[in-house]
Amino acid sequence: MDVEQVFHMTGGIGHRSYAQNSSLQKKASEMVKDMTLETVQELYLTTAPKSLGIADLGCSSGPNTLSIMKEIIEVVQGTSRKAFHAAPEFRVYLNDLPTNDFNSIFKSLPEFSKDLNKEMNNGGSPSIYIGGYPGSFYGRLFPNSSLHFVYSSYSLHWLSRVPPAIYSEEGKSINKGSVYISESSPPVVAEAYLKQFKEDFTLFLQSRSEELLSGGRMVLILLGRSGPDHVDRGNSFFWELLYQSLAILVSKGEVEKEKLDSYDVHFYAPSKDELEDAVRKEGSFQLDRLEMFELERDHHKDNQSYATSVAMTVRAIQESMIGQHFGEEILDSLFENYRRLVGEEIAKEDIKPTTFGIVLRKL
């Protein structure tokens, strides 16, 4: 079984599960919430559709799944009242890979509707039609011109596969000493990751351009990097610590070195220039806004509490992949090593992941 097959079997790993249920992801999403709601409000005021099509791509199934939909519906309802418009009906499309737990989302819908109706001051209940749409967003998901707004949070830094160019003809990784791009990686590794990101992101944009109406908007939230260097003390450093944690198990004889040498992650943190270049070359969208945020840790937490939170987050997104590749029996000791290394590093200097918030307009 190759890496791509494992990726498609692991459901939320490919999408928003990077900190989906953690305070880290929630904090960053709060930072871009205003951008999201302002975009939706502007979209509604300029189009005033009777039926508003909204898609959440990479929705996962945790407690944050429906929260942004609730806020979007509320802001549209409030805007329609102020403009003396009849409120539209809402068509909400929830997407993730087929192995996502859609049933848990559907079970929460009665409570979702109850909470939403309770907060409507005028007593009017919005007409909401919610459906699950399993499948990879690197390709078409919805009918032509069926959407007004697309939202994707912490999903697009996950590639459709590990770049095939980092493997030799014999199938061995040339990226020894790392599970991602590092200082020890040959230049071709960074080139291969960038090439795969461009292919995936371009396919994503092409697919959404068919599904969105002219003037439709997208808000995309993804991890990235602040400059041209691929190796930084942000997102790439967390992967360096994961490699070190696995290397400790190799030194103890608990993991075969060959297994470690053949493991790479399907992740890419793009730069601002790379994102802008991809949007411009694809040509279907205008880039209305691009904001960069450095996610600083909560200094009310001590180093070990923060390290534990980071370890739990990375375990949530990598557990299935690591279990498939190395065996599930190493998971506890691996992430205990990881927690300890993160704690030691942040005692020296903070690790600050970079997040991009992007607003795109369909031409």
How many Å apart are CA 267 and CA 48, to the nearest integer? 38
Model confidence, pTM: 0.90
pLDDT the model gives residue 3: 31
Q: What would the two tokens of residue 110 be? A: 């009665």
> How many Cβ atoms sit within 10 Å of the Cβ of residue 128?
17
Q: At what angle do helices 331-348 and 235-251 cross, to 10 degrees?
A: 130
- Supply the pLDDT for residue 119: 65
What pLDDT score was predicted for residue 340?
A: 96
Question: Which residues face 355 on adjacent strands?
Answer: 223, 293
**Alpha-carbon span 80 to 74, nearest angstrom:** 10
Distance, CA of 273 to chain centre: 19
Low-confidence ranges of the chain (pLDDT < 50): 1-22
Task: Report the pLDDT value the prediction gives residue 256, as an integer from 0 to 100.
Answer: 95
Q: How many other CB atoms are there within 10 angstroms of residue 348's CB atom?
A: 8
Predicted local distance difference test score (pLDDT) of residue 302: 77
- Going across the sheet that includes 51-57, the strands are 128-134, 89-96, 51-57, 147-153, 212-224, 354-362, 285-294
- Residues 80 and 124: beta-carbon distance below 8 Å: no
* CATH number assigned to the domain comprising residue 79: 3.40.50.150
Q: Are 56 and 151 in contact (CB under 8 A)?
A: yes
The per-type count for the chain, helices as H runs and strands as E runs, is 11, 7
Render 63-100 in DSSP notation, one character per residue: TTTTHHHHHHHHHHHHHHHHTTPPPPEEEEEEEE-TTS
Q: Rounded to the nearest 10 degrees, how much is the dihedral formed by the CA atoms of 48, 49, 55, 56?
A: 30
d(CA 126, CA 73): 8
Write phi, then psi, for 145 (nearest 5 degrees). 50, 40
Retrieve residue 250's tokens.
């190799």
Asked whether 249 and 181 are in contact (CB, 8 A), the reply is: no
Segments forming the whole domain that contains residue 136: 3-362
pLDDT tens per residue across span 66-85: 999 999 999 999 999 998 88
Domain tally for the chain? 1
What confidence score (pLDDT) does residue 250 get?
97
* Residue 94 near residue 56 (C-beta atoms within 8 A): yes
pLDDT tens digits for range 226-282: 999 999 888 899 999 999 999 999 999 999 999 999 999 999 999 999 999 999 999
Token pair for 75:
């802001």
